[in-house]
Structure 1
Amino acid sequence: MHRYYGRGTSAPSSPPFRCDGFARTAEIVDATGERIVLSRLPPFLRALLVTDGTVTKILEAYFWEPVIVETLEQRFEDALEPVPWLGVEPGDSCLIRDAQLRGADSGRCFAEAFSMIRAQLIPPDFRQRLIDREIGIGVLIRDSGLESYREVLDVGLDRTASGETTVFRTYRIIIEHRPVILITEYFPLDLYR
């Protein structure tokens, strides 16, 4: 949850892909200041950054194998600080989930996703299926027939502990006009080159 503290306190200045799928001169930056012009990213990775669809299905179509959502960790946690992007206040309980999207045949990790969910704001049957880790969040929303809207809030570069460069996007899912789920997906850059 700490990765979202201090984020979203003010509107970002023209984040790439917030409203459009094309940003001619946009760049993304990592914590050290390294910049990559978005036009230099692999085309499929750019498509993943802008999609408002189910990433699992897009990965299956691109890599042409089933994708498994493997939950690495899931727990309830009380917020210590506000998370404005999700309307969370200190003391609010959220479901925290860390998952990998892996190829069922190859075993390759196509993405890692960290989610923060205001579980009390989603319908009980949806909430239980989410807690039971039945399927990924995007597939669950589609299968449940819930009307939702996804809004990309941030894109950037990050480094793993082993020094691998990842491209990430953070977006929120709005259900019934309320921000309910905040997700950051990390895509290993070398895999998509």
Structure 2
Amino acid sequence: MIVYKEIAELNKRFPLLNEEKILLGTDGSVTNILEILFEGDCKVETINQKIVDNTNYREVILKVNNIPLVYAISKTPFKNIEEENLREEIKRDLLSADIPIGKIIRKHNLETRREIKFIGIEKVDERLKTLLKTNYAQLPKRTYNIIYKNKILMEITEVFCIRGKLK
């Protein structure tokens, strides 16, 4: 996938804010970008979390200054983390604290890369509108993998809701 071309095509059908283009296309930390844009600490509100077959599934809202900005679902197959101590620490961070994934990666000083799989527009149902405190019917969405030591550490899907919330 050539990310800038995908975003350019999407922008023809659904005009995007420059900040949305950056969030859709970044191969870095979304947490960091949100903190810069909204000038505050990024917090996680966990909506749902469970472990099935040694894979953590987590549904969250990312907020800065108590403003809901991103709906995210992550899938973390613990078997792909070979180092037992690291696996247990990441598992503990995901389960016991509302820590953004970008901060977990930074905390453990992991050298990772992001591989974008999908960029598009999400139709927003009433549940998502309520969680994100928005009236928009469609929002930018992407799915990507975080790769660590050539294995998928996490698969993440994000729906961005920054429209109307930037100063």
- Tell me if both proteins adopt one fold, taking TM over 0.5 as the criterion: yes
Deviation at 1:23, TM superposition (A): 2.2
Is 1:128 matched up with 2:78?
A: no
How do 1:107-118 residues align onto structure 2 when only pairs under 5 Å count? 107-118=66-77
Matches within 5 A, 1:44-193: 44-77=19-52, 92-104=53-65, 107-122=66-81, 123-162=87-126, 164-188=137-161, 190-191=163-164
Structure in which a larger fraction of residues adopt helix? 2
CA deviation vs aligned residue, 1:41-70 (integer Å, no higher than 9, x gap): 111110011112211121111111222111
Instruction: Note if contact 1:165-1:189 (Cα within 8 Å) is conserved in structure 2.
Output: no
> Which amino acid is the alignment partner of residue 93 of structure 2?
R
Equivalent position SS for 1:141: helix
Greater relative contact order, per chain length (Cα 8 Å cut-off, separation 6+) = 2
**3-state SS, counterpart of residue 91 of structure 2:** helix
Residues 69, 162 of structure 2: 8 Å contact kept: no
| 4+ residue segments displaced more than 6 Å | none
Alignment match, 1:81: none
Q: Give, in angstroms, the shift of residue 138 of structure 1.
A: 1.2
CA distance in 2, matches of 1:25, 1:101: 22
Task: Give the Cα separation in 2 of the matches to 1:180 and 1:67.
Answer: 21
Match of 1:84 in 2: none
List gaps (5 residues or longer) in structure 1.
1-14, 29-35, 78-91
Q: Deviations over 1:129-167 (max 9, x none)?
A: 222235111110111011211101100111111362111
User: CA 1:25–1:138 in 2, change beyond 3 Å: closer, same or farther?
Assistant: closer
Q: Does the CA-based 8 Å contact 1:116-1:183 persist in structure 2?
A: yes
2:15 to 19, 40, 63: 40
Give 1:97's aligned amino acid: R
Identical-residue share of aligned pairs (%): 29
Give the aligned CA root-mean-square deviation in angstroms: 2.3
